[in-house]
Structure 1
Amino acid sequence: MSNPFCFKQFQVYHNKTAHKIGTDAVLLGAWIDISFKPNQILDVGTGSGIIALMMAQRSFAEQIDAIEIQAEAFQECVGNFENSPWNDRLFCYHGDVQDLVQEPDLKYDLILSNPPFFEEQQPKFDFRQQAREQHTLNYIKLINSVVKLIHSKGHFAVILPYEKHQDFISLAKDKGLYLNKITQVKGRAKANFKRSLMQFSYAQSSIDKDELILEITRHQYTEAYKSLIQDFYLNL
Structure 2
Amino acid sequence: MKVGTDGVLLGAWTGLRSSERRMLDIGTGTGLIALMLAQRAPEAEVTGIDIDDVSQARENGEASPWGSRLHFVQTPVQRFAPAERFDRIVSNPPFYDATLPSPDAGRTTARHTVALPFSELCDAVLRLLAPGGRFSVVLPQSEVGRFLLAAGGRLTTLRRTDVRTTPRRPAKRTLLELARTEEADGAPMVDELVIGTGEHEDYTPEYRALTRDFYLKF
The TM-score by the shorter chain falls in which range?
over 0.9
RMSD over equivalenced CA pairs, Å: 1.5
Alpha-carbon displacement from aligned partner over 1:202-236 (angstroms, at most 9, x marks no partner): 22222110000111122110000000001110121
* Separation in 2, partners of 1:124, 1:170: 29
* Separation in 2, partners of 1:61, 1:170: 35
Shift of 1:130: 2.0
Aligned residue runs from structure 1 range 167-178, under 5 A: 167-174=146-153, 176-178=154-156
Which of 93, 106, 116 is the equivalent residue of 1:115?
Answer: 93
Aligned residue runs from structure 1 range 75-154, under 5 A: 75-100=55-80, 102-103=81-82, 105-119=83-97, 120-122=99-101, 124-154=103-133
Which of 179, 190, 194 is the equivalent residue of 1:209?
Answer: 190
Report the CA distance shift for 1:163/1:123 in structure 2 as closer, same or farther (over 3 A).
closer
Alpha-carbon displacement from aligned partner over 1:101-150 (angstroms, at most 9, x marks no partner): x44x3300000000011332247342222222101211111000000000
Report the equivalent of 2:205.
223
| Contact in 1 for aligned 2:38/2:45 (Cα 8 Å) | no
SS state at 2:68 partner: coil
Which of 154, 157, 160 is the equivalent residue of 1:182?
Answer: 160
* Separation in 1, partners of 2:4, 2:28: 13
SS state at 2:66 partner: coil
Report the equivalent of 1:58.
40
Q: Which runs of 5+ in 1 are unaligned?
A: 1-18
* Separation in 2, partners of 1:42, 1:168: 19
Alpha-carbon displacement from aligned partner over 1:162-199 (angstroms, at most 9, x marks no partner): 0111222233352x221000000011111011000000
* Separation in 1, partners of 2:84, 2:151: 21
* Separation in 2, partners of 1:96, 1:64: 17
Q: What number of residue pairs does the alignment pair up? A: 213
| Contact in 2 for aligned 1:52/1:66 (Cα 8 Å) | yes
Compute the TM-score of the two structures, normalised by the length of structure 1.
0.86
Report the CA distance shift for 1:182/1:64 in structure 2 as closer, same or farther (over 3 A).
same
Report the CA distance shift for 1:150/1:83 in structure 2 as closer, same or farther (over 3 A).
same
Shift of 1:76: 0.6
* Separation in 2, partners of 1:76, 1:54: 16
Q: Which amino acid aligns with 1:89?
A: R
Q: Structure 1 segments of 4 or more deviating over 6 A?
A: none
Compute the TM-score of the two structures, normalised by the length of structure 2.
0.93
| Worse overlay, 155-164 or 198-207 | 198-207
* Separation in 1, partners of 2:192, 2:161: 5
Q: State the identity %.
A: 34
SS state at 1:88 partner: helix
Q: Which amino acid aligns with 1:78?
A: R
* Separation in 2, partners of 1:144, 1:123: 26
SS state at 1:220 partner: coil
* Separation in 1, partners of 2:167, 2:147: 25
Report the equivalent of 1:20.
2
Q: Which runs of 5+ in 2 are unaligned?
A: none
